Structure 1
Amino acid sequence: MGTNGIRRLNRYREIVSLLVKHGFGYIVQEVGLTDNLTMKDRLIADFKQGNSQEMGYRLRHLLEELGPTFIKLGQLLSIRSDLLPVEVIRELELLQDDVNQVPINEIKGKIQLELGRAVEEVFDCFHETPAGAASIGQVHEAKLPSGPRVMVKVQRPKIKETVYADLEILKDLSKMMENHYDWAEHYHITDLMNELAESIKTELDYMEEGRNTETIQFQFQNHTGIKVPEIYWDYTTAEILTMERLDGIKITEVQQLNLTQEEKRHVADLLIESFVTQILREGFFHGDPHPGNIFYIPETKQIGFIDLGQIGRLSSRKRYDVTTLMIGLMNEDTDLIVKAMYRLTYVPTSVDDKRFYDDIDRVSNKFSHTTLGEWDFGLTINELFSIAHNHQIYIPTDFMMLGKTLITLEGIIRDIDPSLNLLELAKPYSQQLLMERFNPVKFGKRLLNDAEDLTKSVTKIPGQIEEVLQKTSEGDLKVKISVHELEDIFAKIDRLSNKISFSVTLLAFSIVVLGLIVGATFGTNTILTSIHALEVGFIIAFLMFLWIIYSIIKTGRF
């Protein structure tokens, strides 16, 4: 076994031991990982399940102790309200990314390795005490020779090796879970792990975060109320990120400034406008807008965004559907809400359309008697996700991330001023989007695009029909059938074959009876009649007939 294999095996044992330590030993046992436990671990294993709150508490501490990869996993799961109880979600939202500081000599060595010069040569001033230490990177204040004050994010040494090894283990574990749990297969746990892997790999590339920051900056280049830090590319690599320092306070600390009601409304309006622009106009939005990543700059009365490693993306079609959903919610239009939900999720063919519509209509009616200013938007979104879950409709992660972002935004606005309401503030923007949707130029362009797509589809039909007929005539036609459909087909074949067997058996028995009647009527004295062969044959045939009928009934497929 090579060095990587040994390291991976040791990490497996560490993960399994921590699972047991935090009360998740039953998972270890069921997926077949007990061989990775030491005798001591097996003796102290506790295979009992607690309530949701206790489970969430233990899960949070387990993930924190397992390290950066698993903390990111917990953060990803915290947006999956369709998978976990609300008590567990609340605990996962408390996941702390604070870890021990990296020694300053290692940080300086990393900077020299990446930038090719000693820290003293790169910066006029470099604060050795970090401004923040997270599981992937550590941030230090500095000053460039040209004068600007900056924040320098330095990636932890050897963090990539640890994360990449953990991601491989998580992929293995997700496959084991899908093999042992139906719910894991239904919710595409392997796909979820793949999304996590891509997300973390992106976060490990600081060049990508720099490009994300510039993209958001470009969205607001002409907006004086929104500030995104400048990236200094000459001092940035895949593992070093140098950006402009924003002098402000966390957005949740605004209430400590004794602002007037009008000033608070202005801050909330800036937040709403910024996310309407990011989500519904550009389709490129801050995927982790917790209060620590959003600043308020009192001197300039600006909103500032930092830490743009995690980004949400929406195609133009999805932006259209999200707008449809928002308009449907605000106008209590069940038809629009259902249409948008169907387009934004993966709906199985087995879904009961009428029941789903009625459940959505129930939510719509529930909030129709609530004034817009008192409407709990977060509760509404969670109700929609819960209904989708109950109907086994799969919600893609990007849609879940969007929902989580809007719920977080609603919470921030309430912290600024409890009397402010997200939907009430957003209504003018939704009306503007509605007007834009039916703008003759844009409406005509959308119709033209749809017509082009339809034309392409129609022109392909003759060729597709010809191909199907050709393959049919040559015996090469292949049909894809799901496992569930295959089981139904086999069941129908069994029923058909059992009915044929029953008919043939009944026919054979009838022939035997007929032969007995003929023999009795026209028979002569032979050796066969002397030993009662016909009677014996009748009894044997009758018993075989009963046995075949019993076997067919026993299968339950008749």
Structure 2
Amino acid sequence: MSTTPDKIKRYYKFIRFMLKYWNSDLFRKTSSAVKDDALDEDDNEHQFQQTPEELVEDLKAMGPTYIKLGQLLSTRPDLLPDEYLKALSNLQDNVSPVPIEEIKDVIEEQLGIRISKAFKSFDETPLASASIGQVHRAELHSGKPVAVKVQRPGIVKKFMSDLETLDELTAMAVKHLEFAQTYAIDEVFAELRRILINELDYKKEAQNLKTLKTNLKLFEHLIIPSPVDDYSATKVLTMEFVGGKKITSLSPLRQIENDFSELVEELVEAYLQQIINDGFAHADPHPGNIKFTENNQIALFDLGMVARFTPQLQENLIELLLAISRSNGEKTAHVLLKMSELNENSQRKEFSKTVSDVIMESENSLARDMQTGRILIQLNRLAINTNIKLPVEINILGKILLNLDQIVAMLDPEFDLRAAIQRNVHEIMRKKMLSELKPENFFGTLIESKHFLEKMPERMNRISENLANNEFKLKIDAIDEKRVTDGFQKVANRITLGLIIAAMIVGASMLMQVPSDFTIFGYPGLAMIFFLLAAAGAIVLSYVIIFRDENLNNKD
């Protein structure tokens, strides 16, 4: 993909960065935070060798791929101190813009028409500039205001080259360094690769916007901008313009003058619906991707990163969220273990105990404590330390809830997120069950039933033929095979005896019609003998079944 000199430069750049931070107090703080240990008192957390601003500048100097890496780290409070998280969050929208001439070239190349024909007006100053692209306000010839998201020129090639380097270096690290294996460094960069590849295709983002808008159409206080397909392509995304401010810029006065509890409730319900009902969620709701409008509505942007949850995983997540919201540590550990990959080195008891402690310690936390997402991420790290591999979706869910915690804390610090989770999960489950009772949802079951009934005669004929030819076989995997075969023999003997008794009764009934000089009790004697023998056999068989059967006497 790249020439040797370029590869050497990238290797040198990355290795120099790692050497700078490898032995620093910041790295040691990261390791201790993962284990939830505190630093010694003489280790002042505010006096690391590298300042937060220095880390940010180093990542900027390394290029857009490492800016995205910094964005990932900015949502990991289990790994970095708060002041570093705050500094890294500035990477989300604080990047130098691309010259307008280059932006216009990308638009005209992607749309195939001159920018003046596509837009009535186009603001040259970007509204926001990120590591992958920047957003400009424009107006269509119809008069409709739109936002145009344009990818930076050459960014795809740059990302692919850096990802190639990271893949090679992380593979080497995981192979030779215990630390890299323990903390799954390769999986961190695998997630980075997946995120970047998806975010580089604006067509996918346009489709994601449509899907989310449809799923959340009943939430009147949530806005998802609609894409304009005719003016969108792989590197250009045109969508309706939604005014407003970043939710983090909400003034204290506006917070005091307004009660946002209902809005927060609706936001929480919307995200829970995405996770446990739709299976399709906005996976990056950090404050930079959410606007607060003048009408007290919330607009969700940047659908380049979405999370998908399978139906089985959704059921597990329902159990997990309810267990956490009820501060049930034992149930939380049980659900996580049920979802996990275990091996001979997995420390299940230690994991369960630690999970229970973490859940109970966080009981009665409010929105301002920002605990829900943080707990999930912490549990993921605890699983790694005890050789238990949780699904990657747990960490994704943790990041979603972590960002949601920040937004909820900003709008309503006293909001009880756990109580809201309980309320909304129950309501969403009720709606989900009602929707599944609709007639159209039974078509699959009806088709399966039809196939079953169609095949039933053929299968019964095959079983009967095998029985008649003494070719019927049963393969049983049981603890006591002799006991099972003896049981089948007992059943067969009783069925045979029952058939003989029934035949004797039928025969006796028929003989009753034949006149005979030999009588018993005034009836034909031979018929009465058969009837009495059948009656005696039936009494004996009933006695054996009722009083001598092992199962009825509970002897097993």
1:212 aligns with 2:208: yes
Aligned residues: 424
**By how many angstroms is 1:81 displaced?**
5.8
**By how many angstroms is 1:230 displaced?**
0.8
- 1:265 corresponds, among 258, 261, 266, to 261
Provide the C-alpha distance between the structure 1 equivalents of 2:46 and 2:167, rounded to a whole number of angstroms.
27
State how 1:39-54 maps to structure 2 within 5 Å: 53-54=48-49
Matched AA of 1:213: L
Provide the C-alpha distance between the structure 2 equivalents of 1:52 and 1:423, rounded to a whole number of angstroms.
36
Equivalent residues of 2:151, 2:235 under 8 A apart: yes
In structure 2, the residue corresponding to 1:258 is in which secondary structure?
Answer: helix
Corresponding position of 1:9: 8
Equivalent residues of 1:69, 1:166 under 8 A apart: yes
Query: CA, structure 1 residues 436+391, in 2 after alignment: closer, same or farther (shift >3 Å)?
Result: farther
1:281 aligns with 2:280: no
State how 1:317-466 maps to structure 2 within 5 Å: 317-367=312-362, 370=364, 376-378=371-373, 380-433=375-428, 435=430
Percent identical among aligned pairs is 31
State how 1:85-484 maps to structure 2 within 5 Å: 92-256=88-252, 258=254, 263-299=259-295, 301-367=296-362, 370=364, 376-378=371-373, 380-433=375-428, 435=430
Provide the C-alpha distance between the structure 1 equivalents of 2:180 and 2:170, rounded to a whole number of angstroms.
8
**By how many angstroms is 1:373 displaced?**
8.0
Query: CA, structure 1 residues 311+339, in 2 after alignment: closer, same or farther (shift >3 Å)?
Result: same
Equivalent residues of 1:202, 1:309 under 8 A apart: yes
Matched AA of 1:6: P
**By how many angstroms is 1:56 displaced?**
7.4
**By how many angstroms is 1:285 displaced?**
1.2
Provide the C-alpha distance between the structure 1 equivalents of 2:286 and 2:367, rounded to a whole number of angstroms.
23
**By how many angstroms is 1:244 displaced?**
0.6
Matched AA of 1:112: E
Query: CA, structure 1 residues 90+316, in 2 after alignment: closer, same or farther (shift >3 Å)?
Result: farther
Query: CA, structure 1 residues 433+231, in 2 after alignment: closer, same or farther (shift >3 Å)?
Result: closer
Query: CA, structure 1 residues 85+258, in 2 after alignment: closer, same or farther (shift >3 Å)?
Result: closer
**By how many angstroms is 1:286 displaced?**
1.3
- Unpaired segments of 5 or more residues in structure 1? 27-49, 453-461, 466-558
Matched AA of 2:326: N
Corresponding position of 1:547: none
Q: Deviations over 1:184-210 (max 9, x none)?
A: 124433343233212101111111111
**By how many angstroms is 1:346 displaced?**
3.3
Matched AA of 1:159: I
Provide the C-alpha distance between the structure 2 equivalents of 1:126 and 1:340, rounded to a whole number of angstroms.
52
Q: Deviations over 1:65-86 (max 9, x none)?
A: 2111112123334445666677
Equivalent residues of 2:328, 2:360 under 8 A apart: no
Equivalent residues of 1:99, 1:134 under 8 A apart: yes
Q: Deviations over 1:226-250 (max 9, x none)?
A: 2110100110110011011002222
**What is the TM-score with the length of structure 2 in the denominator?**
0.68
In structure 1, the residue corresponding to 2:409 is in which secondary structure?
Answer: helix
In structure 2, the residue corresponding to 1:263 is in which secondary structure?
Answer: coil
Comparing 146-155 with 336-345, greater Cα deviation is found at 336-345
Equivalent residues of 2:122, 2:136 under 8 A apart: yes
In structure 2, the residue corresponding to 1:349 is in which secondary structure?
Answer: coil
Equivalent residues of 2:203, 2:234 under 8 A apart: yes
Equivalent residues of 2:366, 2:417 under 8 A apart: no
**By how many angstroms is 1:96 displaced?**
4.7
**By how many angstroms is 1:256 displaced?**
4.6
Q: Deviations over 1:301-346 (max 9, x none)?
A: 4221111111122111111111111111223333421222113443
Matched AA of 1:132: A
Query: CA, structure 1 residues 396+87, in 2 after alignment: closer, same or farther (shift >3 Å)?
Result: farther
Equivalent residues of 1:123, 1:145 under 8 A apart: yes
Provide the C-alpha distance between the structure 2 equivalents of 1:125 and 1:74, rounded to a whole number of angstroms.
35
In structure 2, the residue corresponding to 1:237 is in which secondary structure?
Answer: coil
Q: Deviations over 1:164-222 (max 9, x none)?
A: 10010001110121132112124433343233212101111111111111111111223
Comparing 88-97 with 345-354, greater Cα deviation is found at 88-97
Q: Deviations over 1:454-503 (max 9, x none)?
A: xxxxxxxx99x9xxxxxxxxxxxxxxxxxxxxxxxxxxxxxxxxxxxxxx
Query: CA, structure 1 residues 82+143, in 2 after alignment: closer, same or farther (shift >3 Å)?
Result: same
**By how many angstroms is 1:53 displaced?**
4.9
**What is the TM-score with the length of structure 1 in the denominator?**
0.68
- Unpaired segments of 5 or more residues in structure 2? 25-44, 449-473, 478-556
In structure 1, the residue corresponding to 2:356 is in which secondary structure?
Answer: helix
Query: CA, structure 1 residues 141+373, in 2 after alignment: closer, same or farther (shift >3 Å)?
Result: closer
Comparing 201-210 with 419-428, greater Cα deviation is found at 419-428
Provide the C-alpha distance between the structure 1 equivalents of 2:367 and 2:116, rounded to a whole number of angstroms.
55
Equivalent residues of 1:213, 1:229 under 8 A apart: yes
Provide the C-alpha distance between the structure 1 equivalents of 2:323 and 2:283, rounded to a whole number of angstroms.
24
**By how many angstroms is 1:410 displaced?**
1.6
Provide the C-alpha distance between the structure 2 equivalents of 1:346 and 1:60, rounded to a whole number of angstroms.
36
Corresponding position of 2:57: 61
Provide the C-alpha distance between the structure 1 equivalents of 2:154 and 2:365, rounded to a whole number of angstroms.
54
